[in-house]
Structure formats: structure tokens, C-alpha cells
Structure 1
Amino acid sequence: MRILFAFFTAFVLSGTALPASAQDQAKPPAATPPPAITPPPAASTRQGRLDQLFGDLRRERNEKAAERIAGRIWNEWSQSGSASIDLMMQWAQKATEDQKFDVALDFLDQVVTLQPDYAEGWNRRATVHFLMKNYGKSMADIDHTLQLEPRHFGALSGLAQIMAETGHKQSALEAWQKVLTIYPMMRSAQDQVSTLSEELAGEGI
């Protein structure tokens, strides 16, 4: 974020010389400058923390260290700022783990309705649709997720898997490559890029 600096020029006004006492009387009282408003450090905001973490993730070349950074990003994404939304997300997660997908969708439908700017709500619903093989609905939710958070490597990974499973290998490869521009040390993305590149080369594409 650019910080714009305003430069002020002081003008010296010349006039008739006055005795020292008169000069003192002529001087206006010194104005007390207003206290400087210091903006909060960028890292103290959620967006600032994410920007810092994504920068670290791109630069990190140790796989385990990168996984820890990715985990911190997921933690930031999971925080909705609403206790009720967080609770519904927990219920949806439990229902998903129990393979009660319809129940999970009921909760996630409420999440995205109540808080449509919460990217992880859309991503979680995309995951449930993917598990149900509702690929069209999953892709629609992935699109919502990426509009809110274009760096969401989880959503991009889901898109890549859908493309692969529906036979669109080139699109899958491109999605995995996007993942690697965000998270270069993601092992699964590296493996998929290698595998798909070889398969497409063998097919003459």
C-alpha cells in the first residue's frame, strides 16, 4: 500500500525591522501541532498478516517450514470473526467427517448466506460438493472463493483435481502451476505438475 507524503514549504515573510520587544509582541503564539496519527502496523491487521505470510510462503525453500507457514495461513482463513459462523463451520466439519454431506451442506448454506464475504465458507462448501461429485456446484463455489481470496491454494488445488477427474488435463496442469506460484514447496502440486506434464507430452499436447 502506497504511503503518500505531503511536503509543506515554509515561507519567510520579510518586513520592517522592529525593536526586540515589538517583535515579541508581533509574534503569534506558537501553535501546538496536532499529535501524529500513526497507522497500525500492517501485520496487525488480518490482511496484513496474510500478505506477510504469503510473502514468506513464496520465499521459503524448506518443505517443512513452508508447511508451517501454510498452516498459519489456513488458521487465518478459518477465522470468520463470528462465534456463530465458527460454530456452524465446526458442525459442518464434523458432519463431513461422518460423511453426512447433506447435513454439512445445510450448515454451509447458512454460512455463505449469513457471511458471503467469508472465503473459507465457500471453500468448505466447494469441498463437500466435490466429495459428493457435484463438480459443477463445487466449481461455482471455488469461483466465489477465488474472487474473495485469489491466493487460496486450497481452492486452486480443488479446481485442479476436478479438471483432472473430468479429463481436462491441460486445465488441471495450469491450475497446479498457479498453486506453485503461490506455494512453491507444495509437494502434491509439484508431483501433479510433473505427472501431468509427462502425460500431456506423451499425448503430443
Structure 2
Amino acid sequence: MKAHLGLHNRIVAAFVLVFLAAAPAFAQTAKLDDLFSRLKSADEGESKRISQEIWTEWSKSGSPAMDLLLERGRNAMAQGHPEIAIEHLTALIDHDPDFPEGWNARATAYYQTGNLGPAIADIGHVLTLNPRHYGALAGLGAIFEELEKPKEALEVYKAALAINPHAEGVEDAIKRIETKLQGKDL
């Protein structure tokens, strides 16, 4: 009986550890759900604040070491060194491949270096892990525009706008592409 009790205690302890480790993710999801709900009906001023809160939540990996790699990658990009950013962000992804913002930041760095294929691949990872990532969708739209694929760009821009009705620059991009496509039909 003692052997069964010891095994039971270890199983319960393992479940508690798994639950505690996952609790921040559940809390983050609930908070994000609330923010996205509020974003749908927010005015333009409030939407900027809510969007910033969403990005803040997205940037939390749950690990100080991973957060530091993300910060170093972002700082390298801000200083005009996307190649160095790619190194930091690749290390982040290697250690935490389930953290969407690592993939998103590296996609941005790849885009800055003109490596559109790897940028698109990383955006695919972001959207698999976080389908509501309107920033990744907007980035994909910009890449499709650059590749002169206006119909694909329009589709992903509209998807980004459906998630965040105030996503910066997206409404203008949609109007620009729709005008361009109407001109081709005439």
C-alpha cells in the first residue's frame, strides 16, 4: 500500500507542476481574450493602448533568459544590425520554439536583410502558434506587396484588419491595393 501511495503522490506532484507551469499561459490567454474583445469595439485612441498591451503580453516568454534574447534581438534591429538580431533570435527559437514572438521578431529581421523566403517561413510559424497575430499578418501582406502579389496581400491585410480594426497602416494598404486592382480591371 505504501508503494502505491508513493506513486500516487509523485503523479499528483507531477500534475501540480504541469498545471503551475501552464498557469501563466492560461492567464495570458484569458487576458488576451479580454484585450481582443475590447479591441473590436475600441475607438482609435483606446485601440492604440490596447494594442500595446497585446504586444506586451505577446512579448512575455515566461523565461527571463528568453526575454533577454528577444530584447537583444529587437535592440540589434533598432540599431540597424538585423544580422546580429537573427543570431539572438535564432538562439531564442532554438531554446523555445513554441514562443511565437521569437519567430515574429526573426521574421522582421529576415525581412530587413531582404531574405523574404525565411521571413515568410517564420511568419508561418508565428501564425501556427498564434493565429491572432495581426502584426505577422500585416508583415506577410507587406511581403506579398513587395513580391507583386496584390491579391494575396489584400487577403492577409483584410485578415489582419478583422482581428484589429485599427491595425496601423493596414486600412491604407487595403485601399491602395484595391485601387491598384480596380485600375487593372479597367
TM range (shorter): 0.7 to 0.9
1:125 to 68, 85, 106: 106
Listed as ranges, the gaps of 5+ residues in structure 2 are 1-25
Q: Is 1:45 the counterpart of 2:27 in the alignment?
A: yes
> Within 1, Cα distance between the matches of 2:114 and 2:39?
31
Richer in helix (by share): 2
How far did 1:187 drift?
4.4
> CA contact under 8 A between 1:53 and 1:73: conserved in structure 2?
yes
The one-letter code of the counterpart of 2:75 is: K
The answer for the alignment partner of 1:8 in structure 2 is: none
The one-letter code of the counterpart of 1:127 is: T
Deviations 1:71-111 (A, max 9, x none): 00000001111011111111111211222222111111110
> CA contact under 8 A between 1:63 and 1:186: conserved in structure 2?
no
Aligned residue pair count: 163
Q: Percent identity?
A: 35
The one-letter code of the counterpart of 2:163 is: I
Answer with 1 or 2: which has the greater Rg. Answer: 1
Counterpart of 2:104 in 1: which secondary structure? helix
The one-letter code of the counterpart of 1:97 is: A
1:152 to 113, 116, 133: 133
> Within 1, Cα distance between the matches of 2:172 and 2:81?
31
The answer for the alignment partner of 2:86 in structure 1 is: 105
The answer for the alignment partner of 1:39 in structure 2 is: none
The one-letter code of the counterpart of 2:97 is: P
Q: Is 1:190 the counterpart of 2:167 in the alignment?
A: no
> Within 1, Cα distance between the matches of 2:82 and 2:103?
15
> CA contact under 8 A between 2:93 and 2:102: conserved in structure 1?
yes
Counterpart of 1:203 in 2: which secondary structure? helix
The answer for the alignment partner of 1:55 in structure 2 is: 37
Counterpart of 2:166 in 1: which secondary structure? coil
Listed as ranges, the gaps of 5+ residues in structure 1 are 1-43
> CA contact under 8 A between 2:73 and 2:86: conserved in structure 1?
yes
> CA contact under 8 A between 2:134 and 2:167: conserved in structure 1?
no
The one-letter code of the counterpart of 1:57 is: L
2:48 to 37, 62, 67: 67
Q: Is 1:134 the counterpart of 2:115 in the alignment?
A: yes
The one-letter code of the counterpart of 2:165 is: P
